[in-house]
Amino acid sequence: MRSADVARILDEMGTLLELKGENPFRCRAYHNAADAVRGLGDDLPDRIASGKLAEVPGIGETIQRKIIQLVTTGSLPSYEQLRAELPPGLVALLRVPGLGPKKIKALHEALQIESLADLRRAGESGKIAGLKGFGAKTQRKILEGLAFVESTGGRILQSTAWRLVAPIVEAVRSCPGVVRVEVCGSLRRRLETIGDLDVLFAAEDPVPVLDRFVGLPEVAAVLSHGETKASVRLAGGVQCDLRGVRPEQFPFALHYFTGSKAHNIALRKRAIARGLRLNEYGLEGQEGPIPCSSEEELFQALGLHPIPPELREDRGEIERAEAGPIPPLIERKDLTGTFHCHTDWSDGGNTLLEMAEAARARGLSYLGIADHSRSAGYAGGLSIDRVRRQGEEIDALNDQLGPDFRLFKGIECDILADGTLDYPDEVLAGFDYVVASVHSNFGQPIGVMTARIVRAVRHPMVTMLGHPTGRLLLRRDGYAVDLEAVIAEAAEAGTLIEINANPHRLDLDAEHSRRARDRGVRLVINPDAHAVGGLDDLDYGVGVARRAGLGPSDVFNTAPLSRIAAELRPGGAGA
């Protein structure tokens, strides 16, 4: 059983215990342990093997035993028992905004509600309003929340979130008295998908700003509206929270509302251990408040070097920031060029020249063209003859574009079902580089798929592995593949691994990108652009790389054009 599955089960156990009305600290212990297991990722088997699992903060003797039992036998009696005690539909009720464990327990006991459908029936017949502790307003909110749960999956892509939040930030910024506005929450931490939007502003008097916010045209419903905070549901169902603080409180609030929750709790504990008190309004010492004009000063006041938002998950970043400065993370401006772009030669929307000019306009000094290979009939894959003709056009364009910009001749070559590539070696040798990707036979068993990809990664003509799991966020899980084996092979063969920056993919993910780097693999950030606008997706790939803790030297396409040109040759960039 994989660590992600173990973490999911521990989380579910915590939730089931909450629904039973157990001691909340005991419940939280399971959620904390789930976070700890997630933080371990693929290190979990090693930790178990070395007998050091209980040394991980948040995992004690009891939960260690349960994890080991889960991993070794695949089942856990106490988990099964817990599931048997409670109706299976009860957990789903937690997704309804405004319903927590206590209310769900009350609804279950008083009205035998066991599912979303039961809840709807009870609400529509007015039974909920009559319950002790409930009223007409609560009943109406429950019904509204139900409609939300049923209409959306609950999360949105990071790209959607930025699009939704932009007009709100602008509207708040234009309010009189507002001196700062920042996006906070998981969006600032650049998570792959986003649950809700958090916006923070600073003003001497937040009230008029909040009043204006709840009246914006994007707002479909007002969920709450106080003097420092308002929550609304936007058209489309996404929730947006706006908080206002006084200017001198802004750095504390910015840090607090950026999260993550686990990071905040760890930092507050750290403050307490030093005789301080930290909350979203300030840092309080024995002799009164300790002013900070920035997040950097706040970290400094707690004896830490600054921690970038993307790393704030309480997965070791606090200990690292205590030991010394955290090395600078990669930024968008570090990228000198990129690979894996499509044109109208296959399924892209723009010409070679248009893509080249768009890349240059974005400050890149080279662009790799990787249209689809011949088996990708659905995507206009190139025949061997068309490969040759496209190469001639690229040569001509390079003459035209001048010495300070270069188009590279690449291909996104399908990895066929048996792990062989889609062209003979003599054709592959004609490219400047090869991106090898899986586009078919997604259903292969993990052993077959892993051997297939490993074979391609080992192929001397393959420069980089494209979107290593094939996942589509919120739509499709990746195919079953042992990434650990793929990473090990890539390290051995010197093959690059792509961080596909398309916001639907973000594949390789941050956790495995970190592991790949630690194993000595170089990553490459590619937009998988199918039109000029797709080049802007590079920013999402940079977000993944930052969450992975990568610096510029960990990413291939930060090198200057001259070095890239020298390294790109058949046999692999890392050879």
Candidates 45, 51, 77, 100; binder of DNA (CB under 7 A) is 100
Candidates 280, 297, 347, 354; binder of DNA (CB under 7 A) is 280
**Cβ closer to DNA: 99 or 535?**
99
Candidates 91, 169, 265, 531; binder of DNA (CB under 7 A) is 265
The stretch near DNA (CB under 7 A) out of 82-90, 225-233, 332-340, 342-350 is: 225-233
What whole-number distance in Å separates Cα of residue 422 and Cα of residue 466? 14
Amino acid at 44: L
Residues found in the chain = 575
The stretch near DNA (CB under 7 A) out of 131-139, 333-341, 346-354, 543-551 is: 131-139
- Using an 8 Å Cβ cutoff, are 467 and 494 in contact? no
How many positions of this chain bind DNA (CB under 7 A)?
63
The pattern of x and - marking residues 348 through 367 that bind DNA according to CB under 7 A reads: --------------------
- Contact status: 286 vs DNA (CB under 7 A): no
Candidates 138, 193, 420, 440; binder of DNA (CB under 7 A) is 138
- Contact status: 433 vs DNA (CB under 7 A): no
Within 10 angstroms of residue 33's Cβ, the number of other Cβ atoms is 26
Burial 466-475 (b: 16+ CB within 10 A, else e): bbbbbbebee
Candidates 144, 182, 281, 417; binder of DNA (CB under 7 A) is 281
Candidates 249, 264, 437, 469; binder of DNA (CB under 7 A) is 264
Residues in region 501-520 near DNA by CB under 7 A: none
The stretch near DNA (CB under 7 A) out of 26-34, 155-163, 388-396, 564-572 is: 26-34
**Cβ closer to DNA: 63 or 146?**
63
List of long-range contacts for 273-279, beta carbons under 8 Å, 24+ apart: 274/302, 274/303, 276/301, 276/302, 278/252, 278/302, 279/252
The pattern of x and - marking residues 455 through 474 that bind DNA according to CB under 7 A reads: --------------------
Candidates 45, 98, 289, 560; binder of DNA (CB under 7 A) is 98
Say if residue 297 is exposed, middle or buried (CB neighbours under 10 Å; 0-12, 13-18, 19+).
middle
What are the phi and psi torsion angles at 235 (to 5°)? -55, 130
Q: Which residues on neighbouring strands pair with residue 229, listed in sequence order? A: 243
Least Å from the CB of residue 325 to DNA: 24
Closest alpha carbon to 445 in 481, 395, 401, 396: 481
**Cβ closer to DNA: 264 or 450?**
264
Candidates 160, 279, 351, 440; binder of DNA (CB under 7 A) is 279
Least Å from the CB of residue 438 to DNA: 36
Candidates 213, 250, 252, 257; binder of DNA (CB under 7 A) is 257
What whole-number distance in Å separates Cα of residue 541 and Cα of residue 310? 13
What whole-number distance in Å separates Cα of residue 345 and Cα of residue 351? 8
Read off the tokens for 75.
């089942």
Least Å from the CB of residue 248 to DNA: 15
Least Å from the CB of residue 265 to DNA: 5
- Tokens 């003859």 belong to residue: 385
What are the phi and psi torsion angles at 415 (to 5°)? -90, 110
DSSP at 405:
-
Read off the tokens for 212.
């204006």
Element (H, E) at 543: helix 538-547
List of long-range contacts for 21-24, beta carbons under 8 Å, 24+ apart: 21/101, 21/102, 21/105
SS3 538: helix
Candidates 51, 153, 167, 226; binder of DNA (CB under 7 A) is 226
Candidates 8, 20, 120, 141; binder of DNA (CB under 7 A) is 141
Least Å from the CB of residue 261 to DNA: 6
**Cβ closer to DNA: 225 or 305?**
225
DSSP at 248:
G
> ∠316-272-204 over CA atoms, to 5°?
95
Sheet holding 239-245, edge to edge: 180-183, 197-202, 239-245, 229-234, 219-225
**Cβ closer to DNA: 19 or 307?**
19
- Contact status: 273 vs DNA (CB under 7 A): yes
Read off the tokens for 278.
């930290």
Candidates 246, 277, 360, 362; binder of DNA (CB under 7 A) is 277
- Contact status: 123 vs DNA (CB under 7 A): no
DSSP at 381:
P
**Cβ closer to DNA: 141 or 332?**
141
- Contact status: 232 vs DNA (CB under 7 A): no
Closest alpha carbon to 340 in 282, 411, 279, 444: 411
Residues in region 179-208 near DNA by CB under 7 A: 185, 195-196, 198
513 CA to centre of own chain? 12
- Using an 8 Å Cβ cutoff, are 251 and 293 in contact? yes
Residues in region 32-71 near DNA by CB under 7 A: 32-33, 54, 56-64
Closest alpha carbon to 255 in 309, 201, 186: 309
Candidates 2, 26, 519, 563; binder of DNA (CB under 7 A) is 26
- Contact status: 99 vs DNA (CB under 7 A): yes
The stretch near DNA (CB under 7 A) out of 93-101, 113-121, 167-175, 486-494 is: 93-101
What whole-number distance in Å separates Cα of residue 433 and Cα of residue 372? 13
Least Å from the CB of residue 231 to DNA: 8
**Cβ closer to DNA: 40 or 59?**
59
In the complex, the residues that contact DNA under the rule CB under 7 A are 23, 25-26, 28-30, 32-33, 54, 56-64, 94, 96-104, 129, 132-139, 141, 185, 195-196, 198, 224-229, 239, 241, 257, 259, 261, 264-265, 268-269, 272-273, 277, 279-281
